[in-house]
């Protein structure tokens, strides 16, 4: 160790002994964000939120093509861990680019509705949290207070959501899915055995971290994760507008045997 390095170590040690407030800013860990609270004392996540990514087109890395913007993936590790037979099916979907079930004006499922290019509003109540989506006017109720999932199997497009708090993080367990939804427009799919765990964590006054764990033992070799930031809409009077999908206008395009290839 050089004399200069020895001097630096001695100075830092002396500053540390005097207290963390005297350490250089780069040497101090940032204080965890303490979000505002609701009247019930829970972290206040209320507001209008939206993603700024291209996961709705493809949750994995993808290049640009006509009508599709290039984007970085949101899958932890880069690739979805498909079983071999499921990967072959996904690759066929990617090759043929079959129409998306979204074109039938079906509800897009969870977690997909979160990262579609439309805002949504979170409203907190004592016994549940409601998420109101601009897309199709969809509504989810996240039931709190230890309410269990109903007995299944039940095939719902948006599943059944039960929520709890882990510190400042809202954890949502979602089950009872249909196999008629997909993760994106690139054909990444799941079965009715899908199990989703969402985590909403405030990281600042205008940001939430959205983490999702996906489990489906009939399609994937192991559970896998996606994560992305959610941004609070900043414009004055931010609100949800109306987005209605008119499926009868799409019947000639979508109403064919090949139009719904994911079952």
Average pLDDT, the chain: 88
Helices (H), 19-119: 84-96
- CA atoms of 62 and 42, how far apart (whole Å): 38
The answer to whether 150 and 174 are in contact (CB under 8 A) is no
Categorize the per-residue pLDDT at 14 as very low, low, confident or very high, splitting at 50, 70 and 90. low
More confident residue, 204 or 244: 204
pLDDT of residue 46: 98
List pLDDT tens digits, range 154-177.
Answer: 999 999 999 999 999 999 999 999
pLDDT of residue 94: 84
Please name which of 229, 14, 187 lies closest in space to residue 92, comparing C-alpha atoms: 187
Q: What is the CA radius of gyration of the chain?
A: 22
**30 secondary structure, DSSP code:** P
Four-residue CA torsion sign, 136, 230, 232, 46: positive
Domain ranges of the chain: 1-30, 47-259
In this predicted structure, the answer to whether residue 64 has a pLDDT above a threshold of 70 is yes
Residues 141-155 have a mean pLDDT of 94
SS3 content of the chain, % helix, strand, coil (to 5): 20, 30, 50
Residues 244-263 have a mean pLDDT of 50
List pLDDT tens digits, range 89-135.
Answer: 999 988 887 768 888 899 999 999 999 999 999 999 999 999 999 99
pLDDT of residue 17: 60
For 26, the token pair is: 């780069």
CB burial of residue 5 (10 Å; 0-12, 13-18, 19+): exposed
Proportion of the chain above pLDDT 70, given as a percent = 83
Please name which of 180, 202, 174 lies closest in space to residue 192, comparing C-alpha atoms: 180
The CA-based diameter of the chain, rounded to the nearest angstrom, is 79
Q: Look-up: residue for tokens 């999908």?
A: 245
In this predicted structure, the answer to whether residue 54 has a pLDDT above a threshold of 90 is yes
- CA atoms of 131 and 46, how far apart (whole Å): 9
HSE on the CB side for 217, CA within 13 Å?
Answer: 0
CB burial of residue 63 (10 Å; 0-12, 13-18, 19+): exposed
The answer to whether 201 and 211 are in contact (CB under 8 A) is yes
pLDDT of residue 262: 36
**7 secondary structure, DSSP code:** H
pLDDT of residue 104: 87
pLDDT of residue 115: 98
Residue 32, SS3 per DSSP: coil
In this predicted structure, the answer to whether residue 10 has a pLDDT above a threshold of 60 is no
More confident residue, 237 or 21: 237
Residues 203-216 have a mean pLDDT of 98
Q: Please tell me the pTM assigned to this model.
A: 0.84
List pLDDT tens digits, range 212-236.
Answer: 999 999 999 999 999 999 999 999 9
* DSSP bridge pairs for 5: none
Measured in residues, the chain has a length of 263
More confident residue, 48 or 3: 48
pLDDT of residue 97: 75
pLDDT of residue 185: 93
Determine phi and psi for 139, rounding to 5 degrees: -135, 135
Please name which of 143, 133, 192 lies closest in space to residue 163, comparing C-alpha atoms: 143
Categorize the per-residue pLDDT at 26 as very low, low, confident or very high, splitting at 50, 70 and 90. low
Proportion of the chain above pLDDT 90, given as a percent = 73
- Tell how strand 139-143 and strand 160-166 pair up: parallel
pLDDT of residue 13: 57
């Amino acid at each position: 160790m050089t004399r200069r390095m020895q001097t630096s170590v001695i100075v830092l040690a002396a500053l540390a002994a005097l207290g963390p407030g005297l350490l250089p800013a780069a040497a101090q860990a940032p204080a965890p964000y303490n979000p505002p609270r609701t009247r019930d004392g829970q972290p206040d996540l209320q507001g209008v939120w939206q993603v700024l990514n291209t996961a709705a087109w493809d949750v994995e890395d993808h290049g640009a093509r006509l009508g599709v913007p290039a984007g970085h993936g949101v899958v932890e590790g880069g690739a979805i861990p498909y079983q071999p037979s499921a990967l072959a099916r996904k690759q066929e979907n990617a090759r043929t680019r079959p129409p998306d079930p979204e074109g039938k004006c079906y509800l897009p499922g969870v977690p997909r509705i979160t990262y579609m290019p439309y805002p949504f509003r979170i409203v907190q109540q004592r016994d549940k949290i409601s998420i109101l989506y601009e897309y199709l006017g969809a509504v989810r109720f996240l039931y709190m207070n230890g309410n269990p999932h109903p007995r299944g199997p039940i095939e719902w497009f948006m599943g059944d959501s039960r929520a709890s708090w882990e510190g400042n993080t809202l954890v949502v367990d979602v089950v009872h899915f249909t196999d008629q939804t997909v993760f994106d427009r690139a054909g990444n799919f799941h079965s009715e055995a899908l199990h989703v765990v969402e985590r909403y964590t405030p990281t600042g006054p205008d940001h939430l971290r959205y983490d999702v764990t996906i489990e489906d033992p009939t399609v994937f070799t192991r559970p896998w994760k996606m994560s992305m930031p959610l941004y609070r809409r900043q414009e004055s009077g931010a609100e949800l507008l109306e987005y209605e999908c008119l499926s009868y206008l799409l019947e000639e395009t979508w109403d064919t045997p090949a139009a719904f290839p994911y079952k």
